[in-house]
Chain A
Amino acid sequence: MTFTLSDPTWYPIASSEDLPFRHVYQGQLLGRELAVWRADDGNVNVWENRCLHRGVRLSIGINEGAELKCQYHGWRYANRSAGCTYIPAHPADAPARRIQNRTYPVREAYGLIWSAANDEQPFRPFPGAEDKDWLPLRPMPVNAEPEDVLAALARLDQYADILPGLSIRSGNVIWFVQPVDAGRAVIRGLLADQPAEPLAELRRYNELLTGLRDRLERAATRKPAPAPLQPIFEKVSADLATMPEIAIPRGNTMTVVVKRKWQSADGVIGFELAARQGHLPTFQPGAHIDVHLPNGMTRQYSITNGPGDLMSYVIGVKAESAGKGGSKVLVETVREGDLLAISEPRNNFPLRRDATRTVLIAGGIGITPLLSMARFLDKSSLPYELHYFVRSGEQAAFRDQLEALHGKVIIHQGLPRDEIAATIATSLGEWSMAQHVYVCGPSAMLESVRATAAAQGWPDEAIHFEYFKNDKVIDNSSSFEIELARSAMTLHVPAGKTILEIMREAGLTVPSSCEQGACGTCLTTVIEGEIDHQDVYLNNSEKASNACMMTCVSRAKSARLVLDI
């Protein structure tokens, strides 16, 4: 038998005890190097041992408990999905959400970690596996061909049974040969039932295997070494790694189950949305999902989860808004066990991870994206302060989650308006290099933070907002021409219609989400013409640059706009 890269057999690749928390184990199976690590939730990840960035080994990376960080370039990959959550050199620190490391199937059973080169076969226990309590012996790496190792093990006991998958049963021991490469193997033994003196037994078997290894390696030097298997490392395509900053097209929807619905605080309903199978996609701190509601509406909600927390997304919905719009349906009619369609997570509110000081300011339901950011900063031991303003009579939502944080978390309850402003001013302080503030809350609060920060020397780039909605009245009385440079089309936009609507009528597919100038999904580059911005998404300097706009609300002050579409 010669080994192939595509052999679908499940082999043991490590012992459970090889994977203490916050360690990355370096393994290999059929020529492929593996980075194997246990996350703090107990899940074991078996990944190709290469960071997608420059091919650096992930086995020298840092296991942060929920994400694995590449030691050299800082790329981070999430537990379970292996989705990249951070690319330091990216303009928005934001990865294209589909970049993910290659993963291999994994199973932890009988004190061993099992994996296979592909998903073709389901994992099956070895014969007699279930009714015993197995003790793994010390593994013994051998520089010899896997079949030779198997043959030598078989010679140890003439009554041994050869089992499928390079394994042998000999008395109360089962031997597995892990094919590391064409010329290398690891012997992994399982002893049935705990011996009276485990340590002495472990030493005895270790001695036996050491002798066997030395004999095998001496024999191996007498014959030509087989050529190592040559796995291929796939590179990330350039367009994925350099995906545009904001205008990410809408991904497909997926179905989630409402696993839990509860009252998180006065006026805030929590929803836990779980995948029907496995885990959900990787997201970044500050990201949101579009929830498709039973009445046909779409609403955006921030994910409150911490890093690598992919078994379900937790969102918060303000009950007060139940009077109108989409949230009413969620609060009133959606029950536990119901199914909902949601979009892939998208991030319009990227968190910089290179700040020396991060100030998070939340008002009311605005806590949701900031909770996710705080959890990330907390896990990464980065300095942050979270100020959460709630009105009198209202309680703080997600209180347990906030209390679990180690950073500076201050809940300001029932402050009068002028005191809120003063508190914001003192918590911000004077700006200095590499400080950033993130704000999410009612528009009055956002404006107050914006003004206070500017007065205290904070530049626009250091102030980050997330608007949930655009409260401004949109003036759509103008009419003008748009020229679509890439599509070679000229269209007329009459009063009362948006650019987005006109483009769609002309048969173009253009992404949008909130359609009120708040989310940034429809961001478009403007090549020529004077823009009448009416959105709340862009900041003042971005607006002044006259280089981009939201096609859902913005219009032209000039007779013509040339768009990069």
Chain B
Amino acid sequence: MTITLYDFELSGNCYKLRLLMSILKLRYDIVPVDFFPGRQHKADWFLKLNPFGQLPVLRDGDLTLSDSGAILAYLAKQYDETGLWFPDDPAITAQVLRWHAVGDDITSTASAARLALGFDYDFNIEKAQKSAHRIFRIMDEHLWFGEREGRDWLCSPAHPTTADIACFPYVMLSEEGGISRQDYPALRRWTDRVRRIPGFVVMSGIFPAGRALEQA
């Protein structure tokens, strides 16, 4: 079976899938979709794939899937033999889905501000930035207390889950939307941890972190 990703290089939502597939060492083909300036995601051929007119779309054999959060869950359940990325435990599943939703909220705020500033989209920039700051404050507090409780990631397991991937890209790209992360030191430390996950890949605007200090 071959996996095909309908991808726009500069989309954080597409990057989420590239990131998880790289971590899971999956091979896949890419069909580039010119989201900007071509607006191909509103073209007829694309709307047949995804009537919602949104990237990314993933095809796996006969299956056609859309929505980055849904696809993250699918990829993890289908291909992650360790079961760590989308754990089976009902309470943890609920946590993961909770943060997938936060990931979407970050998209509609931080990413909207980025689209308005960098891609000429007609969004209310100030409102988007304010709402993003509100989410980042909550995340920073959650992560700060997590560190005190010995939790490094968004959900309770001692390892990252798809929740961390769903929230990561648009936090990292927030400066492109004029949203500074200076007030969120715990959030900044978490982005370092995500960038050190084995298999991490970069995209434009998201760099790797330095090597962690090896404990002797």
Contacts and interface: CB of A to CB of B under 8 A. Distances in A.
Interface of A: 14, 17-18, 20-23, 25-28, 33, 40, 60, 62-65, 69, 71, 138-139, 141, 186, 198-199, 202-203, 206, 381
A27 B181 CA distance: 10
B67 to A, nearest CB: 30
Contacts of A138: 141, 144-145
B189 interface: yes
A65 B213 contact: yes
B204 to A, nearest CB: 12
A202 B148 CA distance: 10
A25 B207 CA distance: 16
A381 B211 contact: yes
Contacts of A33: 182
Most chain A CB within a 10 A radius of its CB, from B148, B182, B183: B182
Interface residues of B, number: 19
Interface of B: 141, 144-145, 147-149, 181-183, 185, 188-189, 192, 207, 209-213
Contact of B213 (A21, A27, A60, A202): A21
A141 B210 CA distance: 27
Contacts of B185: 14, 18, 25-26, 139
Contacts of B144: 138
A212 to B, nearest CB: 14
A186 B181 CA distance: 14
Contacts of A63: 210
A26 B182 contact: yes
A491 to B, nearest CB: 54
Contact of A22 (B145, B148, B207, B211): B211
A25 B213 CA distance: 16
Contacts of B181: 26
Most chain A CB within a 10 A radius of its CB, from B145, B192, B210: B210
Contacts of A40: 213
Contacts of B207: 60, 62, 71
Given A21-B212, A203-B145, 15 more contacts: A21-B213, A22-B211, A22-B212, A23-B188, A23-B192, A25-B185, A26-B182, A60-B207, A62-B210, A64-B210, A64-B211, A65-B213, A199-B149, A202-B145, A381-B211
Contacts of A25: 185, 188
Contacts of B192: 22-23
Going nearest first, the 8 A-B pairs with the smallest beta carbon separation are A62-B210, A141-B183, A21-B213, A26-B182, A18-B185, A22-B210, A71-B207, A22-B213
B139 to A, nearest CB: 14
A305 to B, nearest CB: 19
Contacts of A186: 183
A27 B210 contact: no
B148 A26 contact: no
A141 B144 CA distance: 14
15 contacts: A14-B185, A22-B192, A22-B210, A23-B189, A23-B192, A26-B182, A40-B213, A62-B207, A62-B209, A65-B213, A139-B185, A141-B183, A198-B148, A202-B148, A203-B145
Nearest to B192: A23
A67 B181 CA distance: 23
Contact of A206 (B141, B149, B182): B141
Contacts of A14: 185
A27 B185 CA distance: 9
Contacts of A23: 188-189, 192
Contacts of A381: 211
Contact of A26 (B145, B188, B212, B213): B188
A188 to B, nearest CB: 12
